[in-house]
Structure 1
């Protein structure tokens, strides 16, 4: 539609120009005939004729170019007058229209003078006026067409940007559509996996529920049978008296004797007989752990044989493989003996005692009876792994060892191996406490020599050797250990033990590297080397070490 408008406008302009080309030609001919024009007039005619021809050519070419372009520009011919006529003319404005400069001649009255003398004819003046009007119209049309062309360019630029934005949105939508399809696919896979997991968990839950129901039914049945048995078999305290006598007899005459024999000569017993004893102990200990729950209802005098039997049975398992398979039983025994058993009410079902509701207590580790408390402490040290329980057990042991009765019990129940099991650098918090228990036995008394003999074995010296080889061993622990080694170095038969585990070499190295400010440690080290015949010292040092 804009193309047709431009074409029609251009065509009308061309026809107008063609219409006025002939009058212009006649005008210049009249000038030539009037003999009032000189050579300049001829040149004006020739130039005007040339310009008119160029204008027609330009207009025709512009018309032919309309089908190929939307916006176009055309050039107005410059309408000029001879120089002698343009002396007093005034130029109003210049317009840059695509390819040239158009000058408007706006001064009408002053063009009446030709060559300074003659007046221009009126019909020529009229033609000039008409040409001026045509020129203004052409300029207005040209300005309108340029403005319209600019609008079309802006519209085209806007549409191009809009098109690019649409292409961008289309690409984004395509990408989103692809992502959406991928998300839907993954969501479907996750949904299927979730449904499969839910189905599997439902099956597992169903099986667990069935198993729980079966266990509950079995538990209820056992509880009913237990209640019925309690009502039908009343407790006979004489059975416990008989049982405790047998336990006491087995502990003293058999279990303890076997431990002593193993300490003297490990080859005197056959493997089958030794294994048989350990199997019987492993079988009895879980039953003993169950019977501890009934101890509050038993005479407290009968507690000691049960605890003593438990201790010697545990000691029998030290040299076998049964100890590692009874971890839960050992832990239960240790905790029950450490905490004690507290039971409320009547457990026997007897009607005459149904009114009693006082709590009944069986205290073992916290008992006021020294032998029961001492043996219970040894059991706790053998079975418990909690550091706070062990620390309390060592504190109780050190207090009991300050008495002669405690020292006697220490030797009677062969407690040295129990203490040695805690002489490890890995348990630093308990290492010092364990050595403190041994130091209590090194005090000058009638129990010192039996204690030193109990320590004069490979197990004790091997443990000391491992401790002394550790570079992170605390100096205070070294001082305490040096006191025990100094006592053991007095026994001449122990020299081979010092040499077997190279303890004498470690003592020499300690003597060389120990700072003189640690006088007590230096005295003990010198005394050990002197007793082993590895150095000489004066009588003052010897007497000081002996007194310590």
Structure 2
């Protein structure tokens, strides 16, 4: 960027136009005087002629150079630059060779004014060469700048074309976005309506679920109550069943006992057995009756204890009522005493 921003203005001319005109006039006077001096001295030496002619050519070249190497805003002559460069180099070589001969012969041939003018003209020539180089450099910079500007212009045209394409694409994209936005709004509206319906349905389902939950809770309570009643009824049924079995056993026992008593009563009228059997049969019958009573009491006790255990398995034996155990044990002891007494009498 610093190179592109460098100053491209031409170097300020060190020699003004008036000075150039003055030096051109002095150059003409110099040439005229040289011609007059040559005609007066009548130089016949060819070597001198060979040396003087390049000097005259160089001076004439210097004269033309002053016209050619003017600034570009006055006169531009780009077509003769290659030959100008070659002739300039030849003139420089001639000026390098010339001072040796002129230094030897100028006191004899040229006056002092001509020598001073020659030095001034050589300085002017060097300045003009420098200005010409600066002008060439300036022209190269201008060409480079022109090339860069052309490249930038081409790039700007490309960018403009791309921007136009981007604008077209942007318009298409905006149109598509508008269509997509409209579709999106329609879909959002549909989804919001569906969501509202789902929310209503969920509320209905929740209310129905709550009612079902309440019904389920009531049914669970009823089921628990029914199960408790069922357990109670089962325990009562077991009690009734055990009691019925006991009554059946008792009934069967009583029927057997009655049948035996009836059989004994029927057998009493016989004369042969009146003396022998009454003593032996009565203790046996008494013994059997007492034994059966003892067995029935024990059976009732066991059945009641089993029914109580089935009703409440967690109830320990220590928590049973004390009167219950005392009554049962008293009955068992009395019956056992009678049974033992009957066995003793029967054995005697």
- Give the TM-score category using the shorter length: 0.3 to 0.5
- Which one has the bigger helix percentage? 2
**TM-score w.r.t. structure 1 length?**
0.31
Bigger radius of gyration among the two: 2
